[in-house]
A = this chain, B = another copy of it.
Amino acid sequence: MALYVQKFGGTSVGSVERIKKVAERVGRFRKEGHDVVVVVSAMSGETNRLLALAQDIHDNPSPRELDMLISTGEQVTIALLAMAMEQQGIPATSYTGAQVGIVTDKSYNKARIKKIDTESVKNDLNKGRVVVVAGFQGVDEEGNITTLGRGGSDTTAVALAAALKADECQIYTDVDGVYTADPRICSKARRLDKITVEEMLELASLGSKILQIRSVEFAGKYQVPLRVLSSFEDSEGEGTLIIADNEEHNAMEDPLISGIAHHTNEAKITILGAPDIPGVAAKILGPISDANIEVDMIVQNVSPDGESTDFSFTVGRGDYKKAYSLVEKCVEEMGAGRILGDNAMAKVSLVGVGMRSHAGVASLMFKTLAENSINIRMVSTSEIKISVVIDEKFTELAVRTLHTAFGLDKPE
């Protein structure tokens, strides 16, 4: 018999009917003899309803009062889910973040968990009760209610699983696992049975919005087996298990790459012929960062003349105009350089721990793209990832041909 921490998001508990469905699903685990801790979000729409009330009162409400307000959303869900469990004859107890002892720092709206006191949860589990915990929220050391920020319920679930040494933390979402590519643009995409934490982190940061990065990091750090499952499918798929990188997984039979992520709506800005002196990157990116524009890829190369440098970076398309004019100003001040910009770019990335021990990934990638007449505008690599920036119109072609070239397609 195992101990599971199961997390259901706002859509999964978006109505009374869905809450009952979640109770049934949790009930099945309980009836099989497993111990279950359930973490839930606010019913979908509830947080926005509360935020709209706040906006009607104050343009910029106090972060403390905002957390006081929106934390009621999860509190409603836990009470309703506990009732739904009891309706099925399964004893259940609900806890707010404060009651379950999720202590955070004082950063309202984006607090980080410092410790969890699991005593009352363990007591309830020992009595055979299902424990229902409000996700997304905690309490600082003075007893003020805090929230963990976007994706905070995932973090609550993983943190609880770590503190309770759960056998598995199951994140129920509106997808049934992690795929080798986005099934909407690549019909041959397959669901992965397992993936490493590192790969998941690269995929999460590259636009696969299944899990929040923080919760995956947490799972890696505390060695919590994390599983992504569908909360809707009637077929009880196994989902995708996210495991800590280990020797077994590094073995030679591992596939070269595990998945392909893509991200459109990118814009690229290049400064040609900037002075090749220390501090030039900071000079260019300083004003961008001061303007709160998020920079994604950064690439710098020595210029053909050997005395200046070519410097490129990507930003979200919405920030392109602003970033461009900041760079223009910078180039003027430096008295050198020429700007190129393009705001219809996409990023396609191959991710896989397998590529660590294989040199040929980049060349196969570049060859495949060339064969399809897709021009590469930028390249960036990490130990387990290669990203290329291409014209946005080639995104789907690139993903599909790479998917086939790297042997990721579904068996016929």
Residues of A within 8 A of B (CB): 16, 19-20, 50, 53-54, 56-58, 61-62, 64-66, 68-69, 71-72, 75-76, 78-80, 82-84, 86-87, 93-94, 96, 98-99, 143-145
For the complex, give the distance between the alpha carbons of A58 and B16 in Å: 11
Interface centre among A75, A79, A144 (most CB of B within 10 A): A79
Contacts A64-B93, A68-B75 given: A83-B98 contact, CB under 8 Å?
Answer: no
Question: How many monomers of this protein are in the complex?
Answer: 2
Q: Tell me which of B56, B71, B94 contacts A65 (CB under 8 A).
A: B94
- Selected from B53, B82, B145, the residue in CB contact (under 8 A) with A76 is B53
Supply 18 further A-B pairs (C-beta < 8 A) apart from A50-B76, A65-B80, A65-B83: A16-B57, A19-B57, A53-B76, A53-B80, A54-B83, A57-B80, A57-B84, A57-B87, A58-B87, A61-B83, A61-B86, A62-B82, A65-B79, A69-B76, A69-B83, A71-B75, A72-B72, A99-B144
Closest to A64 in B: B93
Residues on B with C-beta less than 8 A from A78 are 68
> Contact: B62 with A83, CB < 8 Å?
yes
The answer to whether B79 and A66 touch across the interface, beta carbons within 8 angstroms, is yes
* Closest-CB distance, A100 to chain B (whole angstroms): 10
Please determine whether B76 and A58 come into contact, CB atoms closer than 8 angstroms: no
Q: Are B82 and A68 in contact (CB under 8 A)?
A: yes
With beta carbons under 8 angstroms apart, the residue of B20, B56, B61, B64 that contacts A57 is: B20
Q: Can you name 19 A-B residue pairings with CB atoms under 8 Å?
A: A16-B53, A16-B56, A54-B80, A54-B83, A57-B87, A58-B84, A58-B86, A58-B87, A62-B86, A64-B93, A65-B83, A65-B86, A66-B79, A66-B83, A68-B94, A69-B75, A69-B76, A75-B75, A99-B143
Bound CA span A194–B191, Å: 75
- Tell me the complex Cα distance, A106–B83, Å: 19
- Chain B CB count within 10 A is highest, among A20, A68, A69, A143, for A68
The 8 A-B pairs of least Cβ separation, nearest first, read A69-B79, A72-B72, A68-B79, A58-B83, A61-B83, A16-B56, A58-B87, A65-B82
Instruction: Determine the chain B residues whose CB is within 8 A of the CB of A72 once the complex forms.
Output: 72, 75-76
Cα A144 to Cα B100 in complex, Å, equals: 11
Q: How far is the CA of A93 from the CA of B80 in the complex (A)?
A: 28
**In the complex, A68→B134 CA distance in Å?**
11
Task: With both chains docked as a complex, state the minimum distance between the C-beta of A278 and any C-beta of chain B, in angstroms.
Answer: 46
Collect the chain B residues with CB atoms within 8 Å of residue A57's CB.
Answer: 16, 19-20, 80, 83-84, 87
- Nearest CB on B from A25, distance (A): 15
CA distance A4 to B96 in the complex (A): 31
A383 to B19, CA, bound (A): 56
The reply to whether A80 and B76 contact each other, CB–CB distance below 8 Å, is: no
Query: A179 to nearest B CB, angstroms?
Result: 35
User: Residues of B contacting A65 with CB < 8 Å?
Assistant: 79-80, 82-83, 86, 94
